């Protein structure tokens, strides 16, 4: 028998501005987070305090980044594997991405701008990406604290927080044009601790349930998708769930996605 109502990820609203540990609001959200993580290893987080203006500016800056000539984009290199600019390949002929070290460190963004927009740089890119990233990574810290509290291992909270590092990976999934074709990313689990995803208006992310069914994730402009990675599950001695997920894009519009990856320092 077919399912009448499609599966969907839980939606949790983090829009309350004065969210503090120990309050009724915090405890309520923590329970919602833990239930979602136990069942799905993933959920949609609503963060309406990021203004529409900043959200739109963030995506516009990413579009301008990918619109640069290929020979310019290739100048952004990094000795770390899968960092810097990663262009299209035989296995991913429509995809390209930039992996940027911790985007809340302004100098990392300044370095990118000085390479790609010579000689004057691009102050708007640095300012907007930095501002947006700060908001998102504050959300990550809240979620991580809630999970650690739910695990009952608060004594390791400070150590965990101090060991965190971040990477921003922005990806453009090109349009396959033909209606019967797909582009995207194969099913996988993330190796890091926590991933937070945001995107433009083109959907395509799918998350697999423990039972093997695929959830087609519908984003709203204010929403972010949270995914537990394998490292966090290992840190929690297998008490979390790191879900398989994939990207399948069809039609004639490109999908732009921003992934904020949290892991231990030296572990990205």
pLDDT value at residue 39: 95
Are 151 and 34 in contact by the 8 Å Cβ rule? The answer is: no
pLDDT value at residue 266: 62
pLDDT value at residue 268: 46
The sign of the dihedral angle between the CA atoms of 48, 49, 55, 58 is negative
Residue 268 C-beta-side C-alpha neighbours within 13 Å: 24
pLDDT value at residue 83: 87
pLDDT value at residue 201: 93
How do residues 37-94 score in pLDDT, each as one tens digit? 999 999 999 999 899 999 999 999 999 999 999 999 999 998 887 789 998 777 777 8
Greatest alpha-carbon span in the chain: 62
Architecture of the structural domain at 11-264: Sandwich (2.60)
pLDDT value at residue 32: 98
User: Could you state, in order of their start, the residue ranges of all structural domains in the chain?
Assistant: 11-264
Report, as ranges of residue numbers, the positions in the chain whose pLDDT lies below 70.
1-4, 17, 177-183, 266-268
Burial of 252 (0-12, 13-18, 19+ CB in 10 A): exposed
pLDDT value at residue 1: 45
CA distance 143 to 14: 10
pLDDT value at residue 128: 98
pLDDT value at residue 3: 56
């Amino acid at each position: 028998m077919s399912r009448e109502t499609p599966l969907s990820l839980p939606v949790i609203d983090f829009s309350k501005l004065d969210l503090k540990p120990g309050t009724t609001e915090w405890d309520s959200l923590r329970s919602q987070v833990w239930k979602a993580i136990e069942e799905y290893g993933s959920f949609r987080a609503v963060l309406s305090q990021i203004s529409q203006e900043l959200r739109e500016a963030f995506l516009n800056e990413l579009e301008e980044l990918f619109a640069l000539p290929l020979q310019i984009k290739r100048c952004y290199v990094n000795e770390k594997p899968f960092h810097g600019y990663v262009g299209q390949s035989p296995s991913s002929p429509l995809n390209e991405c930039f992996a940027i070290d911790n985007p809340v460190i302004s100098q990392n963004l300044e370095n990118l701008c000085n390479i790609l927009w010579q000689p004057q740089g691009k102050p708007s890119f640095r300012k907007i990406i930095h501002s947006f990233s700060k908001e998102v990574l504050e959300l990550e810290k809240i979620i991580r604290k809630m999970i650690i509290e739910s695990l009952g291992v608060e004594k390791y909270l400070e150590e965990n927080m101090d060991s965190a590092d971040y990477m921003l990976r922005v990806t453009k999934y090109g349009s396959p044009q033909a209606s019967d074709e797909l582009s995207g990313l194969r099913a996988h689990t993330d190796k890091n601790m926590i991933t937070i995803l945001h995107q433009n208006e083109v959907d395509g992310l799918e998350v697999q349930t423990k039972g093997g069914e695929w959830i087609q994730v519908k984003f709203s402009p204010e929403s972010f998708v949270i995914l537990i990675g394998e490292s966090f599950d290992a840190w929690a001695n297998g008490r979390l769930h790191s879900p398989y997920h994939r990207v399948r894009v069809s039609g004639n519009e490109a999908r732009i996605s921003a992934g904020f990856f949290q892991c231990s320092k030296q572990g990205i």
